[in-house]
Structure 1
Amino acid sequence: MALTLEQLRADIADVLGESPEDIPDDENLVDYGLDSVRLMVLVGRWRDAHGLDVAVTDLAERPAVEEWAALLGATG
């Protein structure tokens, strides 16, 4: 099953303890509390649920929802 933009935002919000509506597309997620541990949790979640194989470092270089959506091919 493909990762949707809605699921991407929901997963990010979940690990950050935020509401999905409070996570803007273009903001640096580090400012919202994203750290390496949370990033590894997300990568593992997306690998298990969606079969995505992405390097933590690729996501860490561009920590924004819109950047990740493009990198991960999230739709919708």
Structure 2
Amino acid sequence: MPAPLTLEGFRADLAEYLYLRPDEVDLDENPLYAGLDSLRIVTLIERWRETGVDVTFVELAERTSFAQWWQLLSTRQEAAR
């Protein structure tokens, strides 16, 4: 079973694509305003699916902050266990 996605891992994944340090990721920021394009979002989704979290691009696109992304991911992860 893959290691679960943690908030720290989530922040680190975002930071990698935003060219920030994990502690610089503002969870209240809108992902599109932060600079994530659709290709990066798809790449993140694939990475998170490897941890057992199943989300779609549309589900993430409907949410307007990284905090809302994390809420969705963590809820899905709990449901999968």
Partner of 1:22: 24
Q: Deviations over 1:8-52 (max 9, x none)?
A: 01101111222112211111121221110010010011112x111
Provide the aligned length of Structure 1 versus Structure 2: 73
What's the CA shift for 1:6? 0.7
Looking at both structures, which has the greater relative contact order when contacts are Cα pairs under 8 Å and sequence separation is at least 6? 1
Q: TM-score, normalised by structure 1?
A: 0.85
The root-mean-square deviation of aligned C-alpha atoms, in Å, is: 1.4
**Runs of 4+ deviating beyond 2 Å:** none
Q: TM-score, normalised by structure 2?
A: 0.80
Q: One-letter code of the match for 2:15?
A: A
